[in-house]
Amino acid sequence: MTAKIIDGKAFAADVRGRVAAHVSKLKSEHNIIPGLAVVLVGEDPASQVYVRSKGKMTTEVGMHSYEHKLDAETDEATLLALIDNLNNDPQVHGILVQLPLPNHLNEDLVINSIDPAKDVDGFHISNVGLLATGQKSMVPCTPLGCLMMLRQHHGSLSGLNAVVVGRSNIVGKPMAQLLLGESCTVTIAHSRTKDIEALCRRADILVAAVGRPEMINADWIKPGATVVDVGINRIDAPEKGDGKTRLVGDVDFSSAVEVAGAITPVPGGVGPMTIACLLANTLTACCRSNGVAETSDLTV
Enumerate binding residues for ligand NAP (CB under 6 A): 142, 165-168, 170-172, 189-192, 196, 209-212, 230-233, 270-271, 274
* Minimal distance, residue 292 CB to ligand NAP, in Å: 28
Q: Which of the residues 118, 119, 121, 229 is marked catalytic? A: 121
Least gap, CB of 183 to ligand NAP (angstroms): 24
What is the DSSP track for 70-128? E-TT--HHHHHHHHHHHHT-TT--EEEEPSSPPTTS-HHHHHTTS-GGGBTT--SHHHH
Nearer to ligand NAP, 257 or 278 (CB): 278
Report the alpha-carbon distance of residue 187 to residue 167 in Å, rounded. 10
Q: In this chain, which residue has its C-beta nearest to ligand NAP?
A: 168
Cβ 46 vs Cβ 98: under 8 Å: no
Marked catalytic residue, from 7, 14, 71, 98: 98
Active site (annotated) includes residue 195? no
36 or 171: whose CB is closer to ligand NAP? 171
121 is catalytic: yes
Answer yes or no: are the C-beta atoms of 262 and 226 closer than 8 Å.
Answer: yes
Contact assessment for residue 114 and residue 87, using Cβ atoms and an 8 Å cutoff:
yes
Could you please report the per-residue DSSP string of 16-67? HHHHHHHHHHHHHHH----EEEEEEES--HHHHHHHHHHHHHHHHTT-EEEE
- Which residue number, 74 or 142, has a Cβ lying nearer to ligand NAP? 142
Least distance between ligand NAP and beta carbon 231 (Å): 4
- CB 78, min distance to ligand NAP, A: 27
Residue nearer to ligand NAP on the CB measure, 16 or 92: 16
CB-nearer residue toward ligand NAP: 50 or 66: 50
User: Is residue 177 annotated as a catalytic residue, yes or no?
Assistant: no
The nearest distance, CB 37 to ligand NAP, in angstroms, is: 20
- Contact (CB, 8 A) for 237 and 280: no
Whether 165 contacts 200, CB under 8 Å: yes
Report the catalytic residues. 54, 98, 121
